[in-house]
Chain A
Amino acid sequence: MSRRASYDGVVVTTPVTIPYVRFSIRAAHWWIGRALGELVKQSGIAKERIDGFCVSSFTLAPDTAIGLSEHLGLSTRWLDFIPLGGNCGVAGLRRAARAVQSGDAEIVACVAGDTNAIDSFRQGTSNFSRFARDAVYPIGAGGPNQSFAFLTDYYMRTYGAEPADFGKMCVAQRANALKIPWAMFKKPLTLEEYLASRMISDPVRLFDCVMPCAGAEGFLVMRREAAEAAGLRYARILSTIERHNAFQNDPVQFRGGWAVDRDELYGQAGVKPDDIDFVETYDDYPVINLLQFEDLGFCAKGEAPALVRANTLTVDGSFPFNTSGGQLSVGQAGAAGGMLGMVEAIRQLTRQTVGGQVPDAKLGLVCGFGMINYDRGLSSGAAILAGA
């Protein structure tokens, strides 16, 4: 039995996205500032009432959340800066929820955003972490394509995944993304096109790679009463998990920290994987989707390829996932990639979707995965959200 307190009474509202662009001449401050502005505008909650601020960004330097506070004229009594990349959505949500629940803050704005200038991806990759700089980047400078190719190569050989399995996910996500105006990829993708696409870092193909871009995502966390008073549609938080640097002795990453904590995730929520109506995985790269399906109990280890083959994966399918197209089709706006799934899940559960709506969506699972510090992603998280 979990001894953790529930998140009763805390809700998440106001999903916002600042439309992505491939390259931007604006700084991260602009992207995050615009997202905060949208949160104020769409919620009708005055900026002065926001007393908690949770920020995630890779390109704010030399500033962090505190410098950004002054930049944006924001005075809060609770401030967090989360350096977890693709896990910042889940991590931000659970920290903000506890702050609200304890009364340390009333209204917390969670925002992730990054800019993308010419060459900033290379600069960020070359100096991403100390281990990356010392021991990975000098060996080919392939960036994330190289690191995830190692994982993909190992997974394919060990569990028999085929290129078409990855392709099926990419094709389904592309179909979901076609209605998202700010998606980087705007053309339909066929499995034939996927399989014919060139290798980037074998076995990773062109369409396995996300497109780096600039953008921002955000949402608000508050008590249910506050949301209702403001007339905001909201989703409830049933449970969350977070784990860092799990399975340190696995020779190659074939599982993430979710496998450690998933029983607690479902136990706290009081639901089973079968009850989940849709899943927002962290999809940089497709192989990581498979790890999440397995480690979060939708199938046994090694059986995700079969799960993919047995289901339709689009928003109207038998196993809807990454319902807005995910990073693979919408783009990876730095740390905002870690919040894209959370924002989409809130949209699904509050019936505010931009793209397709999962029919009768009541329960959504959102996953986070981040920080390939050396040879594996170190940070994992998940949250189960429910409609009002």
Chain B
Amino acid sequence: MTAPLQKPKRKNPILRTRLPVPPPSARSRYALGLLRGAAQGRLELQVCRDCGTVQYPPREVCRRCLSDRLDWKPQAGDGELVSETLIRHSLELFFRERAPWRTGLVRLPGDVTVVAHVHSDVPRPPAKVRVRAHLDRAGQAVLVALPEHDTPNMADDRIMREMTCDPKFRKVLVTDGKTAVGQALVKALVNAGADPIWVGNAEPWKNFPGFDELKKIPQVTLLNLDVTDQRSVREIAGEVAGRVDIVINNAEVHRTYGISARYGTDAARAEMDVNYFGLLRLAQEFGPALKARGADGVNSAVAWVNLLSIYALSNYPPHGTFSASKAAAHSLAQCLRAEMRPTGVRVINVYPGPIDDEWNQLLLPPKLAPAGLATAIVNALKAGTEDVYPGDVAQDWLARWRENPKALELEAANP
């Protein structure tokens, strides 16, 4: 059984930090079908629409009937480990630095054999396993064989620790502590074992509701961080960027206007300044330090979380300028992900529907509770997913957007 992870020792600043090297990331385009499900934590395999054959590795046509009508469909992943090996000598630096590394052949229903990373709590073959699709440190989809039933401390397994962004024993920055979401995040992170947690506050002269409670949490340190102020971001980065393992950027401005409901650009500018330029400032000041620490042991720098909005995918006209600022941030987050990916630091984009806060007062339920959003974010870190659509509204919009973006555009105009 996996031994529980012990709190890592303080890092010796004299020793050289190991630079991150990604695992192999080359794939054929069809193989990237696995990535779509894995980004949300789902195992999907190719299934032939004509004859029902399931296949892996991905192919251009069905291995049985040669049809090209292939769909990626969710699979249960229950299988049997039929053979295994412990790799002590790998051709790639990533695995050499982490050897020995356990891998195996797993038989899935439908005469499918997959090559998978194998969790250390899986018994010797033959053994029942659950195959899951995970993102590895290259941001690529890989298959992992987990034990048939959950085991104590299974998230602390070496291989899992390389797949996920578990906050346990990691140092986290939450950029805005004044909102209900920010405070819920801090509590969820404390429960997940994060320590310390730096919490930003752009207006330290005000005493926001909940701040007294935040100050009592021993893991929490408050920082004067204003994401609209380059100098403030730089100063805070100088203080903590070299130690932060997870950045959660939840700072946002949300006003409820379209184009004609409010004359002028002041509100829209404020939204852009926090929601878009705030991300850009943070990424420029904190990004380099995180990227350098992508392989820094069991508590390496590991994730960058952006609180976006489901309205980043398609504009919600009653909150039109807010949607636009989140769309800009969504686009920039893709750029950040591209730059972070080779270093193993995962960019997690969170696309909630309306959060149950003052700015969504006029919207009818369902609305996402701040605690629910915080749980979704911490769960994404633990699972290692990179696209999160928490709550019913987000799921509904996502499904409509995927099925017919033009229809959603029209429906959103007449909610």
Interface residues of A (CB under 8 A from B): 121-122, 125-127, 130-131, 133-143, 145-146, 149-151, 153-154, 157, 198-204, 248-249, 251-252, 374-375
Q: Which residues of A contact B143 (CB under 8 A)?
A: 139
Interface residues of B (CB under 8 A from A): 23-28, 31, 56-58, 82-92, 94-95, 101, 103-105, 107, 111, 113-117, 125, 136, 138, 140, 142-143
Q: Are A202 and B85 in contact (CB under 8 A)?
A: yes
CB contact between A122 and one of B56, B87, B91, B140 (< 8 Å): that residue:
B91
Taking the closest CB of chain A, its distance from the CB of B159, in whole angstroms, is 10
Q: Are B115 and A135 in contact (CB under 8 A)?
A: yes
6 pairs across A/B with beta carbons < 8 Å? Answer: A138-B23, A139-B143, A203-B85, A251-B113, A374-B115, A375-B115
Q: Are B101 and A374 in contact (CB under 8 A)?
A: no
Q: A133-B27, A142-B103 are in contact. Are A249 and B111 (CB under 8 A)?
A: yes
A150-B105, A153-B85, A374-B115 given; name 20 further pairs at CB < 8 Å: A126-B24, A131-B57, A136-B115, A139-B103, A140-B87, A140-B90, A140-B95, A140-B101, A141-B23, A141-B24, A141-B91, A141-B95, A142-B85, A142-B89, A145-B85, A153-B83, A157-B125, A199-B86, A202-B86, A251-B105
Q: A135-B56, A150-B104, A252-B82 are in contact. Are A140 and B117 (CB under 8 A)?
A: yes
Taking the closest CB of chain B, its distance from the CB of A10, in whole angstroms, is 37
Q: A139-B115, A140-B95 are in contact. Are A154 and B28 (CB under 8 A)?
A: no
| Closest A residue by C-beta to B93 | A141
Question: Please, how many angstroms separate the alpha-carbon atoms of A153 and B142 in the complex?
Answer: 22
Q: Are B83 and A151 in contact (CB under 8 A)?
A: yes
Q: Which residues of A contact B23 (CB under 8 A)?
A: 138, 141
Q: Are B87 and A142 in contact (CB under 8 A)?
A: yes
Q: Which residues of A contact B104 (CB under 8 A)?
A: 150
Taking the closest CB of chain B, its distance from the CB of A138, in whole angstroms, is 5
Taking the closest CB of chain A, its distance from the CB of B306, in whole angstroms, is 26
Question: Please, how many angstroms separate the alpha-carbon atoms of A126 and B201 in the complex?
Answer: 48
A/B pair count, beta carbons within 8 Å: 120
Q: Which residues of B contact A199 (CB under 8 A)?
A: 86, 88
Q: A134-B31, A139-B116, A252-B105 are in contact. Are A146 and B87 (CB under 8 A)?
A: yes
Q: A252-B105, A375-B113 are in contact. Are A138 and B88 (CB under 8 A)?
A: no
Q: Which residues of B contact A150 (CB under 8 A)?
A: 83-85, 104-105
Question: Please, how many angstroms separate the alpha-carbon atoms of A126 and B105 in the complex?
Answer: 19
| Closest A residue by C-beta to B98 | A140
| Closest A residue by C-beta to B144 | A139
CB contact between B83 and one of A142, A252, A374 (< 8 Å): that residue:
A252
Question: Please, how many angstroms separate the alpha-carbon atoms of A198 and B100 in the complex?
Answer: 13
CB contact between A375 and one of B86, B91, B105, B138 (< 8 Å): that residue:
B105
Q: Are A121 and B85 in contact (CB under 8 A)?
A: no
Q: Which residues of A contact B107 (CB under 8 A)?
A: 251
Q: Are B113 and A142 in contact (CB under 8 A)?
A: no
Task: Sort A-B residue pairs by CB-CB distance and give the 10 closest, nearest first.
Answer: A149-B85, A141-B92, A134-B31, A135-B57, A142-B87, A154-B83, A150-B83, A202-B86, A122-B91, A140-B103
Taking the closest CB of chain B, its distance from the CB of A28, in whole angstroms, is 21
Question: Please, how many angstroms separate the alpha-carbon atoms of A199 and B103 in the complex?
Answer: 15
Q: Are A125 and B83 in contact (CB under 8 A)?
A: no
Q: Are B86 and A134 in contact (CB under 8 A)?
A: no
Question: Please, how many angstroms separate the alpha-carbon atoms of A226 and B114 in the complex?
Answer: 52
Q: A125-B91, A126-B26, A131-B57 are in contact. Are A139 and B84 (CB under 8 A)?
A: no
| Closest B residue by C-beta to A152 | B85
Question: Please, how many angstroms separate the alpha-carbon atoms of A203 and B91 in the complex?
Answer: 18
| Closest A residue by C-beta to B86 | A202
Question: Please, how many angstroms separate the alpha-carbon atoms of A131 and B28 in the complex?
Answer: 9
Taking the closest CB of chain A, its distance from the CB of B163, in whole angstroms, is 12
| Closest B residue by C-beta to A374 | B57
Taking the closest CB of chain A, its distance from the CB of B194, in whole angstroms, is 29
Q: Are B25 and A201 in contact (CB under 8 A)?
A: no
Q: Are B83 and A138 in contact (CB under 8 A)?
A: no
Question: Please, how many angstroms separate the alpha-carbon atoms of A200 and B85 in the complex?
Answer: 10
Question: Please, how many angstroms separate the alpha-carbon atoms of A374 and B115 in the complex?
Answer: 9
Q: Which residues of B contact A143 (CB under 8 A)?
A: 90-91
Q: Which residues of B contact A201 (CB under 8 A)?
A: 85-89
Taking the closest CB of chain B, its distance from the CB of A197, in whole angstroms, is 12
Q: Are B114 and A135 in contact (CB under 8 A)?
A: yes
Q: Are A133 and B26 in contact (CB under 8 A)?
A: yes
Taking the closest CB of chain B, its distance from the CB of A374, in whole angstroms, is 6
| Closest B residue by C-beta to A137 | B24
Taking the closest CB of chain A, its distance from the CB of B149, in whole angstroms, is 23
Taking the closest CB of chain B, its distance from the CB of A371, in whole angstroms, is 15
Question: Please, how many angstroms separate the alpha-carbon atoms of A55 and B293 in the complex?
Answer: 49
Q: Are B87 and A134 in contact (CB under 8 A)?
A: no
Question: Please, how many angstroms separate the alpha-carbon atoms of A201 and B99 in the complex?
Answer: 10
Q: Are A126 and B91 in contact (CB under 8 A)?
A: yes
| Closest B residue by C-beta to A199 | B88
Q: Which residues of B contact A252 (CB under 8 A)?
A: 82-83, 105, 113
Q: Which residues of A contact B140 (CB under 8 A)?
A: 138
Question: Please, how many angstroms separate the alpha-carbon atoms of A206 and B220 in the complex?
Answer: 52
Q: Which residues of A contact B125 (CB under 8 A)?
A: 153-154, 157
Q: Are B28 and A139 in contact (CB under 8 A)?
A: no
| Closest A residue by C-beta to B113 | A375
Taking the closest CB of chain B, its distance from the CB of A199, in whole angstroms, is 6
| Closest B residue by C-beta to A133 | B26
Taking the closest CB of chain B, its distance from the CB of A75, in whole angstroms, is 38
| Closest A residue by C-beta to B114 | A135
Taking the closest CB of chain A, its distance from the CB of B237, in whole angstroms, is 34
Q: A133-B27, A249-B111, A375-B113 are in contact. Are A145 and B89 (CB under 8 A)?
A: yes
Q: Which residues of A contact B85 (CB under 8 A)?
A: 142, 145-146, 149-150, 153, 201-204
Question: Please, how many angstroms separate the alpha-carbon atoms of A237 and B25 in the complex?
Answer: 46
User: Which of B25, B103, B107 has the most chain A CB within a 10 Å cutoff?
Assistant: B103
Question: Please, how many angstroms separate the alpha-carbon atoms of A249 and B85 in the complex?
Answer: 21
CB contact between B28 and one of A125, A126, A133, A140 (< 8 Å): that residue:
A133
Q: Are B117 and A202 in contact (CB under 8 A)?
A: no
Question: Please, how many angstroms separate the alpha-carbon atoms of A14 and B22 in the complex?
Answer: 49
| Closest B residue by C-beta to A150 | B83
Question: Please, how many angstroms separate the alpha-carbon atoms of A121 and B92 in the complex?
Answer: 12
| Closest B residue by C-beta to A126 | B24
Q: Are B58 and A134 in contact (CB under 8 A)?
A: yes
Taking the closest CB of chain A, its distance from the CB of B61, in whole angstroms, is 13
Q: A139-B103, A149-B85, A251-B107 are in contact. Are A134 and B57 (CB under 8 A)?
A: yes
User: Which of B87, B107, B140 has the most chain A CB within a 10 Å cutoff?
Assistant: B87
Taking the closest CB of chain B, its distance from the CB of A185, in whole angstroms, is 18
Q: Are B25 and A138 in contact (CB under 8 A)?
A: yes
Q: Which residues of A contact B142 (CB under 8 A)?
A: 138-139
Taking the closest CB of chain A, its distance from the CB of B133, in whole angstroms, is 12
Q: Which residues of A contact B25 (CB under 8 A)?
A: 138
